[in-house]
Amino acid sequence: MPLIKMKNRSMSQKAVALSMPDQTQRILGFGLLALALLVMQVVTAAARGAPETFADLVEKVSPAVVNITTMTKVATQIGPQGIVPEGSPFEDLFRDFTDRQGRPRSANALGSGFVISEDGYIVTNNHVIDGADEIMIEFFDGKELPATLVGRDKNVDIALLKVEAGGALPFVDFGDSDVARVGDWVMAMGNPLGQGFSVSAGIISARNRELSGAYDDFIQTDAAINRGNSGGPLFDMDGDVIGVNTAIMSPTGGSIGIGFSMASKVVEPVVKQLKEFGEVRRGWLGVNIGDVTQDMAQALGMDTPAGAIIRDVFDGPAKDAGLLSMDVILMFDGKDVGDAGALVRLVGAAPVGKTVKTVVLRDGKRQTIDVVLGKRPEPEDIASTSEAAPEPTADMVLGMAVGTLNDELREKYKIAKDVDGIVVLSVDADTNAAEKGMQEGDVITDAGQKPVRSVDDFQAQIDATAEAGRQSLLVLVRRDGQPRFVVLNVE
């Protein structure tokens, strides 16, 4: 029945159309065609998400973007010295010349920044102002003001400056870089190559890039970024800052469409602490961690690799809370830990003194441990400690001759006093241990997430692994003082 009704209605419409004059039909047809084309254009633009122009956004945010010029006094003395004899008629002339040459010279550097509050706080890269004796801010309207350094954080290359403008300044807000997606439009502003205020646009090419820093979380973009753009803002289409332009990858020194902006989720908490304390007070867990590989995951009975596995536990919050070497940290402060880098960023963003629930995998089971975060100390102040080793024993295990550490073995293999475990005395070349790279002098400190202090401890973990139906055992090994994980076949 519905099909018949549709058919009848269609026939009726056709009859009406045939009764119209030809000219009227053509006008109606052109009108419908134009409407269809307009709808297609609107749908296509909406699907593409491409802005018709960036002009309105540029006009909105430009007053808050600044150029930064720094001046550094460099004391040098150029030219020959001591070649004019004392009493020479040219002595005074030569002295005047060398005095002028010996005076401090000014070295200039250029960068970018942006105002984040009406009372004159400005964000830029630390490398823009590092070592500067004077910092001058140029605003979009041409006004120039001197700036003072409030604080800096070399770890994420961020510095906070302050100017006294004598009135309210235009400013921009930080946006949420976590909601930014690959393919989203972005706009960069700054002072490329010292050419003054300049705008470039592109898309987010990648997320969560790491370059060299422990707290790196870069947004990669193809918006043109060049020298001088450092410290400038990367805007989303709402005019919020989702990144600070920091670095480029280029064989020529110029933009080839691979630029990196430190994500706002990293920068914003750093800026808040610089503003409040003049320094960054990062949370510290007190562990040395690594990624969980596929082999490690199988040895630990995990379905897929995830989390961060503990290599070392130092004197500090983790040790006080009871965390152990070979614990796999799966969640921290309610957030999943994807890998070691993710945990470093989560801990670094957490405030000192906070009690954080930390979920670890230990002996195949999840445990929740409360850790009170400390303040990150200087690297040289971090030291691991262990209990004293028992008397030596020796045996052949998994194709390796192993013995319990004693003073003689420590001296022979240059093993630190704070390292405990069993030492590898030799490795059979035709075994899985040799294939996995085990060497004489290696110290096995942990196996199967249990500390190893004797050959019996090691054998017990091998037996437990076999009884659990697993073929591989994860061991923590120290070589030349550095920890590494090895997955050994127990068959």
The per-residue pLDDT for range 3-16, each reduced to its tens digit, is 333 334 443 333 33
Do residues 436 and 447 touch, judged by C-beta distance below 8 A?
Answer: no
Q: In CATH, what number does 394-489 get?
A: 2.30.42.10
Give the 3-state secondary structure of residue 460: helix
Quick check: 378 pLDDT over 80? no
What pLDDT, on a 0 to 100 scale, did the predictor assign at position 387? 39
Do residues 257 and 206 touch, judged by C-beta distance below 8 A?
Answer: no
Do residues 67 and 196 touch, judged by C-beta distance below 8 A?
Answer: yes
Confidence band for 210, pLDDT divided at 50, 70 and 90: confident
Superfamily of domain 60-162: Trypsin-like serine proteases (2.40.10.10)
DSSP labels for 91-116? HHHHHHHHHHHHSPEEEEEEEEEEE-
Residue with tokens 């001296």: 411
More confident residue, 252 or 273: 273
For the ranges 153-162, 343-352, 466-475, the maximum mean pLDDT occurs at 153-162
Angle at 46 (CA atoms; ends 43, 49), nearest 5 degrees = 150
**Torsion angles phi and psi, residue 386, rounded to 5:** -145, 170
Residue 103: Cβ within 10 Å count = 11
Euclidean distance between CA atoms 464 and 387, whole angstroms: 24
DSSP labels for 328-354? EEEEETTEE--SHHHHHHHHHHSPTT-
Q: Which of 157, 217, 240, 333 is catalytic?
A: 157
**Is 230 one of the catalytic residues?**
yes
Confidence band for 420, pLDDT divided at 50, 70 and 90: confident
Euclidean distance between CA atoms 366 and 417, whole angstroms: 32
Do residues 421 and 397 touch, judged by C-beta distance below 8 A?
Answer: no
Residue with tokens 């050419």: 195
Q: Which of 112, 198, 230, 325 is catalytic?
A: 230
More confident residue, 330 or 379: 330
Q: In CATH, what number does 177-277 get?
A: 2.40.10.10
What pLDDT, on a 0 to 100 scale, did the predictor assign at position 410? 85
Residue 117: Cβ within 10 Å count = 17
Euclidean distance between CA atoms 452 and 459, whole angstroms: 9
Q: In CATH, what number does 286-381 get?
A: 2.30.42.10
Residue type, 164: E
Confidence band for 314, pLDDT divided at 50, 70 and 90: confident
Mean pLDDT lowest among 79-88, 123-132, 206-215: 79-88
Q: Which of 112, 127, 333, 472 is catalytic?
A: 127
Do residues 485 and 294 touch, judged by C-beta distance below 8 A?
Answer: no
First to last CA, the chain: 73
**Is 133 one of the catalytic residues?**
no
What pLDDT, on a 0 to 100 scale, did the predictor assign at position 9? 40
Give the 3-state secondary structure of residue 395: strand
**Is 157 one of the catalytic residues?**
yes
Biggest CA–CA distance in the chain, Å, is 123
Confidence band for 185, pLDDT divided at 50, 70 and 90: very high
Show me where the domains of the chain are located.
60-162, 177-277, 286-381, 394-489
More confident residue, 382 or 199: 199
Mean pLDDT lowest among 22-31, 46-55, 220-229: 22-31
Quick check: 103 pLDDT over 70? no
What would the pLDDT profile of 427-461 be if each residue is shown by its tens digit? 887 788 888 888 888 999 998 888 888 888 888 88
Do residues 273 and 279 touch, judged by C-beta distance below 8 A?
Answer: yes
Residue with tokens 């008397």: 391
What pLDDT, on a 0 to 100 scale, did the predictor assign at position 84? 47
Q: How many residues does the chain have?
A: 491
> Sign of the CA dihedral 250, 255, 256, 258?
positive
Quick check: 343 pLDDT over 50? yes
Give the 3-state secondary structure of residue 256: coil
What pLDDT, on a 0 to 100 scale, did the predictor assign at position 69? 93
Euclidean distance between CA atoms 187 and 223, whole angstroms: 7
Mean pLDDT lowest among 89-93, 136-140, 182-186, 209-213: 89-93
Tell me if 177-277 shares its fold with 394-489. Answer: no
Quick check: 181 pLDDT over 90? yes
More confident residue, 77 or 440: 440
**Torsion angles phi and psi, residue 12, rounded to 5:** -65, -45
Share of the chain above pLDDT 90, in %: 39
More confident residue, 312 or 336: 336
